[in-house]
Structure 1
Amino acid sequence: MIFLTSLENILPIILIIALGYFLQVRGWFSDQFSGNISKLIMNVGLPASIFVSVLKYLNRSMLVGLSSGLLYVFGAFVISYVFAFIMIAILRVPAGRRGVFVNMVVNANTIFIGLPLNIALFGNEALPYFLIYYIANTVSTWTVGVYLITADSKEGKKAGAKFDWKKLLPPPLVGFLIALMFLFLDIPVPTFAINTLTYIGNIVTPMSLLYIGIVLARAGFKSIRVDKDTIGALAGRYIVAPLVMLAILSIAGGNLPANEFKTFIVQSAAPALAVLPILADQGDGDREYATNLVTISTVLFVVVIPVVLTLLG
């Protein structure tokens, strides 16, 4: 019964993703359309949504409680990195795939899948908890994650390992920081501005889900390949990472609000980063392997999340 209820909760998400997939297959969208959606969500919709949600659902006293959640998430990330390297050694993952493998295990697609799912399941009230995970995921991805990918090439040579500091302040995070400034300084925001930003922010969830469907249609299911490295990475994403998060929260975070606890677990079980193939290509890694992981993990997520929600009760 709980499984069916969980499935019912994500059915609208599945249907909107399917709509994006169907429309892309029918040729409704140009090659530039998905890229334009991505820019619109990341640079306009999401910062607006986050700004409004922070001012609506956060206060100064709550920020102290949220700081402990950030420590739990970072702790889970560190442990997940350790497990990922152990899995690489056991599976003997070849050069060019190692950085991708680690990122698959540790870093999740919090924006285009994690965010709309979280809002659909727990409402905007849980958005501050999502932001905590998003901050940790962003820092992890654009520092350690990118470094590991650029340091790992198919020929076994380092491709000038580096990370882009600018990526640590993407527009959604800037929106969060500006909102915190307004919150701390108690700066009033005119009603018309809040209403305008709310309308703009409301595009995030449906457009994100359409984007996922478009990406799946373009990737194509015929390109899917399954080998030991793929199975290992999927196990890390959907078994190791959520279990590590569950262990951390069960041991240290017993007093967390229910929505915060569930948000962290659900986000830890989100699919692979949408930008993983791009990062692999820039770092001279195995782009096909990265694309394969993104496609399979996104498809499997439809099955995984009802199971996770059922276990969470």
Structure 2
Amino acid sequence: MTALSTSIQSVLTIVLLIVVGYVLRRQGRFDDQFGKTISDLLMKIALPASIFISVLQRLTLDKLVSLSSGLVYGFGAVILGYLIAFLLVWLLKVRPGRRGTFINMFVNANTIFIGLPLNLALFGDKAVPYFLMYYVVNTVSTWTVGAFIMAWDDPTQKKSEKSSTGFNWKKLLPAPLVGFLVALVFLLLKIPFIHVGWLSFVVNALDYVGSLVTPLSLIYIGIILADAGLKAIRFDRDTIVALIGRFVIAPALIAGLILLGMHAGFNVPGLEAQTLIIQAAAPGLAVLPILATEAHADVEYATNVVTTSTVLFVVVVPILMMLVQGLA
């Protein structure tokens, strides 16, 4: 009951923030440029700050080393997820502008805002190291391959233009990824940035700026819904398949790899297996509409899959918990 209550509370919080953006936009309090302003603020400032400070606060080099064996399952599932998603894009002929979002839905999840509180409610503090393991996988995947695919799926840019304009390093190194890479350097060099007393004002500033990411992303979703109308929430073919990828294929892949590992003689603690499977099924990234906006992609589709996956997660959690109980 605690897990179900936590998932419902998390979803209601998200819905409430989306409603705020929706209502204020409908009332005309947000002008046409406000959404673009939010997008720029998040992508260029808030997200890099959030990722940088989150990595330093939640991880240490020792933790990374101790969790390295489990990272194999996470990255293995991510690679398989990308392959399956690309195959389905080709088979289903998903149109340009939706492909990046479609692929990301199969692989990358909303681990922090929903995944972390739910994980604590389900498994307690003992499972936090395993959550951090999936957090690393999800962060690396999102801001390397995931973000690059979103930028690549720009329907306004023709193939000839993509090949003739040369390589765009900004697409390979988006600001959020730079924030993650800088944080990794700090970890590897064991720079005690967040523990230096006289730098606490910088840490606090980064923390405050980083905390803008989730609420502003959700308000942005509300703005998009207001512009598109609630009719934009629908279950078309691409949405249904993306939701199957998020709630069925993603957790099934990591569960399959864990079972293969156990069959091969590699011991996987039950708590680790449960954590990885639950996290793999978390809703779509709240920042997908932001990434879609940056890539001139189908923002309404991105908004639709994020909104529907978030609401449906309330139903998915109890089902998944029943399925993973045997791994304890």
C-alpha contact (below 8 Å) 2:59/2:132 kept by paired residues: no
Note closer, same or farther for the CA distance 1:51–1:128 as it changes in structure 2 (3 Å cut): farther
- Alignment match, 2:210: 201
Structure 1 distance, partners of 2:241, 2:191, is 49
Q: 1:117 aligns with which of 114, 125, 130?
A: 114
Note closer, same or farther for the CA distance 1:225–1:183 as it changes in structure 2 (3 Å cut): closer
1:133 and 2:130 aligned: no
Residue identity in the other structure for 2:316: V
C-alpha contact (below 8 Å) 2:50/2:207 kept by paired residues: yes
1:18 and 2:15 aligned: no
Structure 1 distance, partners of 2:105, 2:317, is 17
Q: 1:176 aligns with which of 180, 185, 198?
A: 180
1:35 positional shift: 1.6
Q: Which runs of 5+ in 2 are unaligned?
A: 194-198, 263-267, 322-328
Residue identity in the other structure for 1:140: V
Q: Which runs of 5+ in 1 are unaligned?
A: 282-286
1:47 and 2:55 aligned: no
Coordinate RMSD, CA, aligned: 3.9
Residue identity in the other structure for 1:215: I
C-alpha contact (below 8 Å) 2:232/2:300 kept by paired residues: yes
Q: 2:100 aligns with which of 86, 96, 103?
A: 103
Structure 1 distance, partners of 2:162, 2:143, is 18
C-alpha contact (below 8 Å) 1:13/1:209 kept by paired residues: yes
Note closer, same or farther for the CA distance 1:98–1:206 as it changes in structure 2 (3 Å cut): closer
C-alpha contact (below 8 Å) 2:105/2:284 kept by paired residues: yes
- Alignment match, 1:8: 9
Structure 2 distance, partners of 1:47, 1:268, is 21
State, as a whole percentage, how many aligned pairs show the same letter: 37
Q: TM-score, normalised by structure 1?
A: 0.74
- Alignment match, 1:192: 201
1:16 positional shift: 1.6
* Equivalences, count: 297
- Alignment match, 1:284: none
